[in-house]
Structure formats: C-alpha cells, structure tokens
Structure 1
Amino acid sequence: MDADGTRAPATREAPVEAVLLDALGTLVGLEPPVGHLLRALAARGVQVAPAVAGRAVKAEMALYRAEHHRGGTPDGLAAVRAECAAAMRDALGAPAAALDEGAMAAVLLESFRFFAYPEVPDVLRELRARGLRLVVCSNWDLSLLEVLDRTGLAPLLDGAVVSAVEGAAKPDARLFTRALAVAGGVAPEAALHVGDSVAHDVAGALAAGLRPVLVARDGDEVRSLDGGGPAPAGVPVLTDLGALPGLA
C-alpha cells in the first residue's frame, strides 16, 4: 500500500536483453572418460582394470577442480594439465609408470571429450534471432574457448567469460558483471543466467541481481557435486534448454 492507502502497482520485470550461460552441464556435456582413458592407454601398451581407470579419472577431476583457476594463460594451463596428468598416472599405478610426461599429457587430453547437448544449437539460434545477447559465464580454464569452437557453439555466441582468465569464479559477482559488460553493458535486471549449479549459478546470479534459471539434466553428476541443495522457490528449473526461449 502507498501512504494514502491505495495499492501500489505491481513491479514489472524488465524485458530480457541478454542471456548468460554456464558451460558444463548447461551447454556442453562430458563423454564418459573411463572408456576413452582405457583406449588411450591400450594404444600405448598399457592395460588397467576399468575400476582403476575410474579412480584415476576421479583423482584428475579432484585436482582440476582445485587448481583450474591457475589455467588462465597458456603457461598456466600447461602447468595445470601436467599436474593433472601426473595425478592420473599416480592413480593408475605401476602399469602406467613408464609413460613419460608428454605421453601422459596426451592420454589426459584424449580421455576428456566434450559435446554440445543436442537441443542447444537451435535454442541459441532462436534466442539470437530475437536480438538477445548470449555470453558464456563459466568456471573453467582458458581451454573453454577451444571447447566452444570444437563443439560448434562459438559462432552462436557473442562472447565467453572464463573464471581462470578473469580471476574470479562464480558465485563471485565480478564474473557476472564482466559477462554483462561483454553482452554490451546490459543491466543485471535485464539478464537471465542459466546454469546447472545451485551453489554457483543460482546463488551467484541472485546475489548479482540477475534472474537465475536452473538446468537439472537427468544424470547430471557435475551438479550433484556442488552441494547447493534445491533451487530457491520461484527459480525456474528446466530438464534441458528446450523451454528456455519461453522464459526469455
């Protein structure tokens, strides 16, 4: 109510001008690494059990999560990859001990392969046809730019903001602010942020003044690791990006 007792008009949301998008679990997925790791090792004469390969993948991923912030430059990325490859080799044990640093780095790169979710290209094209600015806002290293290019998504986007390059990671508001600047200086209230992490994407977007959308794909193990719990009331939850144009 206003001071004179009349009801104030309802606040209307600003029209959407930009959509910020998380990468892993939102735009791109990770092919199961264990099979690729086993094949990469076999090609170099190394045989291990699938369970051992699984432990090596988990060891690599744990180290990468802790250290990927250092991968914002080519030298930094090379150092992180070398350490991750070493962690993988250690977890593989004696069968892989003879692989030198270069061979193990190649095994690492062959083991982690990304793909664009099938609905994503058409959704991005539809959003761009409406004149919306599309910017990736992701906790990743410098190699994300290569991933977006290799999966064919780069030409459908207006830019990408990467945490390791910017020195700030979601849920830090600075990464969202930088992404809005790349989108052409769009105001937070005129932007959606779409991501698969409650702790990083939803909480970060709300704190930065953006409207969050949670993507909860079936079997999304990445999201299950963030410990963010369920989305707050009122946050749209999608099982894929197919319904996203209806929210924009």
Structure 2
Amino acid sequence: MAAVLFDFSGTLFRIETAESWLRAVLAETGHTLPEPELTRAARALEAAGGLPGGPEPVELPADLAGLWAVRDESAELHRAAYTGLSRRVPLPDPGLYDALYDRHMAPAAWSPYPDAAKVLRALRERGIGVGVVSNIGWDLRPVFRAHGLDAYVDTYVLSYEHGVQKPDPRLFSVACEALGADPRRVVMVGDNRAADGGAAALGCRVHFVDHLPVDRRPDALLPVLDLVS
C-alpha cells in the first residue's frame, strides 16, 4: 500500500463527553447550574445531537432535516445545524449555544485514541503517505498540532473546504491525488460505514473501527500496520 487515509472523529480522535462540554462552557462564560440541572441538560443536549462529534440526534426535527443532510458542506451550514439542535434544549443564556459550538472546536475538547500516535509514527517511518479525510465544518489542523500529531499527516481534505461531503468519492480522490497515490493502493480507515465506505468506489480498501470512548478502544488502529506491510 502507498498511503492510508483516516477519518477524524471516532477514528483518530474522540470528542469529550456532553457533560464535560457543557461544564467547560458554563465555567468559561461565568454561568452556573445546580448539578442535577447540569446533568439533565447535558443528557438532553446529547440526545438532541447538539454535540458535534457526539451521537447523532435521537429524533431529527423535521425543520432541520434538510440542513442536517448537507451540514458538512460549509462552515455556515455546520454551525447552523448543530446550534439549531442544541437550541432545542433550554439553557440559562441564549449566548451559550454559540459558545458550546465554539468549545467543540478547541483542541482541549478532543483526545487522540491511545494508539493514534504510534500508528501514525510507524506509517511515517515506513514511508507511507497519510491523509485525513473528514466530514467537518471547521479547520481541525490545530487539533492535530496541539496533540503533536500534525507532523505525521501529509494532507488534509476537509468537506467544508471543498463543498463536498463523504461518501462522495471526489473527496477521497482529492486526497489520493495530493498523496500521489493510486487509489487501488490506498486504505481508508473510518468509523462510519456509509460515509467512509465511499472510498471503495475508487478502488480503495476500507477498514472500519468502532466509535468508542478512548478508554474502551486502546488498540483498534494497530491492524492498519498489518494492512500496509
């Protein structure tokens, strides 16, 4: 294999919990909620799908369905979709919804999976090109830099920068071209079978991992090294 493409959320990194997310924003903005209310609000925000990188909505509101379907095609659509969902949950200040959205883009809100650095470093040492292909509405490069992983990534292909979202094969094609790799010699690693599976249309091999908390998935990326050996 000549190159490996990775998804971001649920593959190389995991977003913080909804409770941690809400707690951080309340502290940053000087708001407080009694613990029972904070816990209930965090659960409601998670169920609503308001945390980007977290679970999808338990029930998608009809008025947001169209926006949700194209949310990763631009920064504006992404913010509108997620703040629209979080606004379904009452909070003490209307400004908290945008603050919550801003928080999820902070490097501190993300944790790399335990084996991410090891795998990325090993690929670099073997001369295997690495790309990150993500459906996202913001620039995730600072997250990689803050966690010391940017040095192992050769190219980033982000949906909002191209106006196209996975599973459209055009995103994977851009990544393969940037790496100078024949798609038939590329592995796509992701957690979403529908979105990441789109790479198969180009002839890429696709390998899936489970989107689990970091403490429950210590070594799911290691088999990638066997795929490129």
Using structure 1 for the length normalisation, give the TM-score.
0.71
Distance 1:111 1:20 in 2: 23
Query: Is 1:38–2:23 an aligned residue pair?
Result: yes
Show the counterpart of 1:231. Answer: none
Greater relative contact order structure (CA < 8 Å, 6+ sep):
2
Give the share of equivalent positions with the same residue, in percent: 29
> Where in structure 2 are the equivalents of 1:65-214 lying within 5 Å?
65-66=68-69, 67-71=71-75, 76=76, 80-81=78-79, 84-85=82-83, 87-88=85-86, 90-93=87-90, 95-96=91-92, 98-100=93-95, 104-110=97-103, 113-184=109-180, 186-202=181-197, 204-214=198-208
Residue 213 (structure 1) shift: 1.0
Q: Tell me which amino acid in the other structure corresponds to 1:54.
A: R
Residue 33 (structure 1) shift: 2.1
Does the CA contact (< 8 Å) of 1:218 and 1:239 recur in 2? no
Q: Tell me which amino acid in the other structure corresponds to 2:160.
A: A
| Residues 142/108 of structure 1: CA separation in 2 closer, same or farther (3 Å cut) | closer
| Residues 154/191 of structure 1: CA separation in 2 closer, same or farther (3 Å cut) | same
Q: Which runs of 5 or more residues in structure 2 are unaligned?
A: 52-56, 58-63
Residue 150 (structure 1) shift: 2.6
Q: Secondary structure at the match of 2:137?
A: coil
Tell me which of 206, 224, 228 is aligned to 1:244.
Answer: 224
Does the CA contact (< 8 Å) of 1:68 and 1:141 recur in 2? yes
Does the CA contact (< 8 Å) of 1:22 and 1:137 recur in 2? yes
String of CA shifts for 1:202-231, please: whole Å, max 9, x gaps. 2x12211111111125569xxxxxxxxxxx
Using structure 2 for the length normalisation, give the TM-score.
0.77
Q: Tell me which amino acid in the other structure corresponds to 2:101.
A: L
Q: Secondary structure at the match of 1:245?
A: helix
Distance 1:34 1:111 in 2: 12
Show the counterpart of 1:225. Answer: none
Distance 1:200 1:107 in 2: 25
Larger radius of gyration: 1
Does the CA contact (< 8 Å) of 1:37 and 1:108 recur in 2? no
Q: Which runs of 5 or more residues in structure 1 are unaligned?
A: 1-15, 221-237
Does the CA contact (< 8 Å) of 1:135 and 1:157 recur in 2? yes
